């Protein structure tokens, strides 16, 4: 079912989100694949830097799960590198894992990218139109100023076409055959320039939005199938930090589980050298195996509402970064608390007024 809006929590999740800067996310530009024609063209020149006012009051009550960020420095266990899948002689050829790919011992769960389209604000909501399709825009508390700055910029300039730095927000539904919904969480924005900038100015404004091409995303997470989606996904979990651990220990059960909710990004990755993990109810826990942690670059295809693999950034591993994840018991307790709260609200509304 479509998740319902939860009441505003009394406490605020810790704000440890990293700003999308070159020092945090260093991506190497790639050559478009043979399917590059499926993605919208990139602008002819890089745009100027992000404009975010020093102080902006938020007025748009839109909430989205907090994005993933760099965790506090922790000692990672030894990462076990995976070998490519052995295909039978009857199967089609598939790419091998490049032995020169590095092992990323500092990997984190992450999903960030660039989209370009016409942005509109109406009825306290925001949308971006890409290829004649509307996608909702959201913001997290840590990027509220950027969201409000975008709103002010559109009002002052009446320039609707924008290049946004975003986190993908995918909403899945209980029924497997019901299609998921795609939205985006705003991190920053850049104006589309009328004239090309000088090379010197471009060099000064190097940032993640200039390292990534339009509609290109960096996805780092667990490569697996989930029960409610027919397309395999890269699962982005909440990165671990001591501050977040303290927060969830003190938060109410509903708020705690919602904070640790993972994001599942559907990805088309044909002939992937590592198979996506799929849970098999007929096997024992020891026989199930586990999902591989992968870091890839992918392109968003608006005509199909899916992400498509473009490049493997590091060697897949069976060891994933430390993360926060709600267990089955916690999820059951949260569901019970939510049911009880809704029942009490219904009874209060039905009670006669005195």
Query: 70-124, pLDDT tens digit by residue?
Result: 444 444 444 444 444 343 333 334 567 888 888 888 899 999 999 999 999 987 7
207-218 average pLDDT score: 85
Mean pLDDT along residues 298-325: 95
For a pLDDT cut of 70, what percent of the chain falls above it?
A: 68
Confidence at residue 73, expressed as pLDDT on a 0 to 100 scale: 47
pLDDT level of residue 344 (50, 70, 90 thresholds)? confident
Model-wide pTM > 0.85: no
8 pLDDT above the threshold of 80: no
Give whole-number Cα distances, 134 to 50, 77, 127, 280, in Å.
23, 43, 6, 37
The answer, yes or no, to whether residue 204 has pLDDT greater than 70, is no
Return the pLDDT at 349: 85
**Cα separation of 95 and 92, whole Å?**
10
pLDDT at 288: 87
Strand partners, 297: 218, 311
Query: Which has the higher per-residue pLDDT, 63 or 151?
Result: 151
Percentage of the chain with pLDDT > 90? 45
Cβ atoms within 10 Å, residue 239: 22
Of the listed ranges 143-147, 265-269, 291-295, 350-354, the least confidently predicted one is 350-354
Contact 35, 308 (CB under 8 A): yes
Confidence band for 327, pLDDT divided at 50, 70 and 90: confident
Q: Comparing 31-40, 53-62, 186-195, 326-335, which segment has the lowest mean pLDDT?
A: 53-62
The pLDDT assigned to 207 comes to: 64
At residue 100, the pLDDT reads 82
How far is 184 from 162, CA to CA, in rounded Å?
14
Mean pLDDT of 290-318: 95
d(CA 163, CA 155): 16
The CA distance from 305 to 214, in Å, is 15
The residue behind tokens 């020169």 is 100
DSSP string, 191-226: E--SSPPPHHHHHHT--HHHHSPTTEEEEEEEEE--
Question: Is the pLDDT score of 37 beyond 70?
Answer: no
- pLDDT class of 11 with cuts at 50, 70, 90: low
Least confident of 8-17, 103-112, 238-247: 8-17
Q: Quickly tell me which residue has 């730095």 as its tokens.
A: 165
CA distance 333 to 313: 39
Cβ–Cβ < 8 Å for 166, 181: no
Which range among 33-37, 102-106, 316-320 shows the weakest confidence by mean pLDDT? Answer: 33-37
pLDDT at 2: 47
Pick from 51-60, 104-113, 194-203, 272-281: least confident = 51-60
pLDDT attached to residue 71: 45
pLDDT in tens, 155-166: 898 889 999 999
Confidence check: pLDDT of 64 > 50: no
């Amino acid at each position: 079912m479509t998740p319902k809006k939860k009441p505003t929590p009394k406490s605020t999740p810790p704000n440890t989100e990293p700003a999308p800067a070159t020092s945090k996310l260093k991506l190497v530009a790639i050559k478009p694949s043979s399917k590059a024609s499926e993605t919208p063209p990139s602008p002819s020149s890089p745009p100027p830097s992000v404009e975010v006012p020093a102080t902006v009051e938020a007025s748009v009550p839109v909430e989205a799960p907090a994005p993933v960020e760099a965790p506090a420095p922790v000692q990672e266990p030894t990462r076990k590198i995976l070998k490519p899948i052995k295909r039978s002689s009857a199967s089609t050829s598939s790419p091998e894992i490049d032995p020169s790919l590095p092992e990323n011992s500092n990997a984190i769960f992450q999903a960030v990218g660039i989209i370009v389209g016409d942005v509109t604000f109406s009825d306290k909501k925001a949308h971006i139109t890409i290829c004649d399709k509307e996608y909702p825009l959201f913001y997290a508390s840590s990027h509220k100023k950027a969201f409000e700055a975008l709103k002010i910029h559109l009002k002052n300039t009446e320039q609707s076409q924008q290049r946004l730095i975003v986190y993908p927000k995918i909403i899945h539904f209980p029924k497997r055959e019901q299609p998921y919904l795609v939205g985006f969480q705003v991190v920053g924005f850049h104006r589309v320039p009328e004239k090309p900038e000088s090379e010197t100015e471009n060099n000064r404004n190097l940032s993640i939005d200039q390292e990534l091409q339009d509609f290109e995303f960096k996805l780092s997470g667990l490569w697996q199938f989930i029960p409610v989606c027919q397309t395999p996904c890269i699962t982005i979990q909440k990165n671990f930090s001591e501050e977040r651990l303290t927060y969830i220990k003190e938060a109410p059960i509903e708020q705690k589980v919602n904070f640790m909710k993972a994001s599942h990004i559907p990805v088309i990755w044909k002939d992937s050298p590592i198979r996506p993990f799929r849970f098999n109810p007929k096997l024992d826990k020891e026989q199930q195996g586990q999902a591989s942690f992968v870091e890839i670059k992918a392109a968003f295809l608006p005509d199909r509402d899916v992400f498509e693999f473009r490049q493997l950034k590091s060697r897949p591993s069976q060891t994933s970064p430390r993360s926060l994840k709600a267990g089955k018991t916690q999820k059951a307790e949260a569901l019970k608390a939510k049911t009880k709260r809704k029942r009490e609200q219904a009874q209060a509304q039905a009670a006669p007024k005195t």
